[in-house]
């Protein structure tokens, strides 16, 4: 699918609507309120826009100002006014502020685990007591081909296996330890030990 075409863009955003409709169904019945949501790694708003219809306000965080600019432009076209955008380096975290936080297809591309730990800690601190988070990771076990790929220079790799784009697999037990350290309790897991491993967490 060519996302630079009108048809491609429509499909891109429609797939986000379908994804949120499917994944949020089991979460929204648990939320104490739906005032504010936080998205880590919003990109150009594929999930931000459908979530903006579910909450009074959405904070959209990304490392790329270009992505955030495109998100704002699309939001203006759609006349959506309840989204606030932040670069990751800006002040987006506020203690006990959000009812819900989510991140999909983002943490799997972050090479430095300490950076992931920092995002989890900041997000946990920003959730209200009893608030929920839905986080996606790739928790497949490592194998010889995966390890060879990780030490091979980018020049010899297909573009989707290069640093910043390739998927980084994480140990599920290590993730659980980070969640617990930051007061996040695992309530459900979807597709464990796979590239689509998703955790539903509550701030206890």
Nearest Cα neighbor of 66 from 74, 58, 54, 57 is 74
**pLDDT the model gives residue 110:** 95
Question: Is 6-203 assigned to CATH 3.40.50.300?
Answer: no
d(CA 132, CA 121) in angstroms, rounded, equals 14
Q: What is the 3-state secondary structure (H, E, C) of the chain?
A: CCCCCHHHHHHHHHHHHHHHHHHCHHHHCCCCCCCEEEEECCCCCCCHHHHHCCCCEEEEEECCHHHHHHHHHHHHHHCCCCEEEEECCCCCCCCCCEEEEEECCCHHHCCCHHHHHHHHHHHHHHEEEEEEEEEEECCCCCCHHHHHHHHCCHHHCCHHHCCCCCCCCCCHHHHHHHHHHCCEEEEEEECCCCCCEEEEEEEC
**pLDDT the model gives residue 135:** 98
- Which stretches of the chain drop beneath a pLDDT of 50? none
**pLDDT the model gives residue 4:** 67
Q: Are 41 and 62 contacting, i.e. CB atoms less than 8 angstroms apart?
A: yes
Domain layout of the chain by residue ranges: 6-203
Token pair belonging to 163: 């640093």
């Amino acid at each position: 699918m060519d996302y630079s075409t009108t048809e491609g863009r429509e499909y891109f955003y429609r797939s986000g609507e379908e994804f949120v409709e499917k994944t949020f169904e089991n979460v929204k019945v648990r939320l104490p309120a739906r005032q504010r949501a936080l998205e880590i790694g919003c990109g150009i708003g594929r999930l931000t826009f459908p979530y903006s219809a579910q909450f009074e306000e959405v904070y959209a965080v990304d490392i790329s100002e270009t992505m955030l600019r495109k998100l704002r432009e699309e939001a203006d076209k759609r006349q959506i006014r309840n989204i606030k955008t932040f670069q990751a380096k800006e002040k987006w975290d506020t203690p006990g502020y959000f009812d819900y936080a989510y991140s999909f297809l983002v943490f799997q591309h972050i090479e430095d685990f300490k950076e992931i730990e920092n995002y989890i800690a900041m997000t946990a601190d920003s959730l209200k007591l009893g608030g929920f988070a839905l986080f996606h990771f790739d928790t497949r076990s490592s194998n010889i081909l995966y390890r060879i790929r990780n030490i091979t220079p980018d020049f010899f790799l297909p573009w989707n296996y290069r640093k910043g784009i390739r998927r980084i697999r994480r140990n599920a037990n290590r993730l659980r330890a980070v969640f617990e350290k930051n007061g996040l309790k695992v309530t459900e897991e979807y597709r464990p030990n796979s590239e689509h491993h998703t955790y539903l967490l509550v701030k206890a």
